Homo-oligomer: A and B are copies of this chain.
Amino acid sequence: MRPVDHSAPPGQERRRGRRPGGQQTRDALLAAARAEFAEVGFDQARVRSIAAAAGVDPAMVNHWFGGKDGLFLAAMDIPFDPAVVLARVLDGGLEETGERIVRTFLTVWDATGGGPFVALLRSVANHETAARMIREFVSEVLIGRIAAAVSTDQHRLRAALCGSQVVGLGMARYVIRLEPIASAEVDTLVAAIGPTLQRYLTGPLA
C-alpha cells in the first residue's frame, strides 16, 4: 500500500532547474505535516502517514527535510534547526555554556529581525495544537539534549529553567520590545543573563 510518487523520480529533484513537480511534492508534504502535527502532535506524528496523506513516497521527507525534525521546523516556519545550533553550543563543554546559549540565541534570532519569533509565538498563543507541538518538540529534542549534557541532578528541570529564561528574553526583545532589553548590545545581555543559565545548568537550585 505504498503511495506512488507521481511528482518526480527520486534523485531528479537534486538536479538544477528543479521541476515544478518537486516543489509541489514539498508543498504537499508541508500541508500534510501541518495537518498531522496539529491533529496528533509532534510525538505521535509519523513520517509514513504524512507522506501517505501527501500522496508521495516517505523517502521524500528525508530528501526535502532531512527527517521528521526538519519537516516540523519547516512546517512551523522556524528559520534554523535549534537541535543543530544547540549541539554546537553544547559541544564546547559545560563551562560558559550559559553565555554561549544566550549569545547564540540572540545572534540567530537577531539575524531574522525577530519577525519569525513573533510569528512562532503567535502560533503558540493562538492554537493549543501549536503549543502542544512546540511543547513536545522542546521536551523531546531540546530539553532532552540539554538534560543529557548536564551531569547534575534534576536534569529536566534545569533544562526547562533555561528554556523559560530564553523564551522570556525573546519575548522582551522581539515581541514586547521592552527597553532597554530590546536595543541592548548582545554582549550586555550575555553578561547579564549568561550566569543565570549557567546556574540553572550546573549550580545549586535550592
A86 to chain B, nearest CB (A): 16
Would you call A184 an interface residue if the criterion is a C-beta within 8 Å of the partner chain's C-beta atoms? yes
Q: Is the CB of A205 within 8 A of B192?
A: yes
A163 to chain B, nearest CB (A): 6
For A169, list chain B residues within 8 Å (CB).
164, 168
Would you call A108 an interface residue if the criterion is a C-beta within 8 Å of the partner chain's C-beta atoms? no
Q: Is the CB of B125 within 8 A of A178?
A: no
A174-190, CB < 8 A from B: 175-181, 184, 188
A187 to chain B, nearest CB (A): 9
Q: Is the CB of A138 within 8 A of B191?
A: no
Number of copies: 2
Task: State how many residues of chain A have any CB contact under 8 Å with chain B.
Answer: 43
Apart from the given pairs A160-B179, A164-B181, 15 other A-B contacts in the complex at a CB distance below 8 Å: A124-B175, A124-B176, A125-B125, A131-B177, A138-B176, A139-B178, A156-B180, A157-B180, A157-B184, A163-B168, A164-B169, A164-B172, A165-B196, A166-B168, A192-B205
27 CB contacts below 8 A, A to B, read A118-B125, A121-B121, A121-B125, A122-B125, A124-B125, A124-B176, A125-B126, A131-B176, A135-B177, A138-B176, A157-B181, A160-B179, A160-B180, A161-B193, A163-B172, A164-B165, A164-B169, A165-B165, A165-B196, A166-B168, A168-B168, A168-B171, A188-B206, A191-B205, A192-B205, A192-B206, A195-B199
